[in-house]
């Protein structure tokens, strides 16, 4: 009987030791940066492919977009609707150039520049808009990153000319 009790006790201790710390390992900064970089590639691909479903899946329910001279777009539905209007009016070719990424726990932000070439579907010349962005990302319970806040502005074109506007009804697709 003592042998069985000793074997059982040894088995419990062995199981506890094998389990170790059950706290999930936090990704390193480099792993988080790689995940956000991959996220951005998916998000930009969805913009350039006019894939509203993927764009929507990459934002949080409470996503807020702050655009110049417009009220905030609050929530996933408002963002989806604005992207739909923009895609009806323009075909986009957009690029992002991050210059700073900060990650702290389950939040990260990225600052950088963007260039968007918008080609009107009704015909006419393409317009190129460049500017700055600031995006806030939030890690989800499953470990994936989603965009939760997005703001951008355009900068004057070289020579001091005003940056072109996309028009009254269109929101840039970023």
pLDDT tens-digit series, residues 154-173:
997 665 554 445 543 455 55
What are the backbone angles phi and psi of residue 135, rounded to the nearest 5°?
-125, 140
pLDDT digit string, tens, across residues 43-78: 999 999 999 999 999 999 999 999 999 999 999 999
CB 58 within 8 A of CB 42: yes
More confident residue, 12 or 99: 99
Helix, strand, coil: what percent of the chain each, to 5?
A: 35, 35, 30
Write the CA distances from 92 to 28, 97, 103, 134, integer angstroms: 34, 16, 29, 20
Give pLDDT, residue 26.
84
Domains of the chain, each with CATH number or no CATH: 26-151 (3.10.450.50)
Write the CA distances from 11 to 14, 19, 22, 38, integer angstroms: 5, 12, 18, 43
């Amino acid at each position: 009987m003592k042998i069985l009790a000793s074997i059982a006790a040894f088995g419990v201790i062995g199981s506890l030791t094998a389990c170790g710390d059950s706290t999930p390992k936090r990704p390193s900064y480099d792993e988080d940066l790689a995940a956000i970089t991959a996220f951005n590639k998916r998000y930009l691909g969805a913009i350039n492919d006019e894939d509203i479903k993927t764009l929507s899946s990459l934002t949080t329910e409470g996503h807020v977009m702050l655009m110049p001279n417009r009220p905030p777009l609050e929530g996933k539905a408002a963002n989806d609707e604005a992207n739909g209007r923009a895609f009806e009016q323009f075909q986009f070719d957009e690029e992002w150039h991050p210059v700073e990424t900060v990650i702290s726990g389950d939040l990260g932000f990225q600052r950088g520049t963007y260039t968007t070439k918008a080609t009107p579907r009704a015909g006419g010349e393409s317009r190129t808009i460049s500017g700055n962005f600031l995006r806030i990302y939030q890690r989800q319970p499953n470990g994936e990153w989603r965009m939760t806040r997005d703001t951008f502005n355009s900068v004057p074109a070289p020579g001091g000319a005003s940056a072109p506007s996309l028009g009254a009804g269109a929101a840039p697709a970023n």
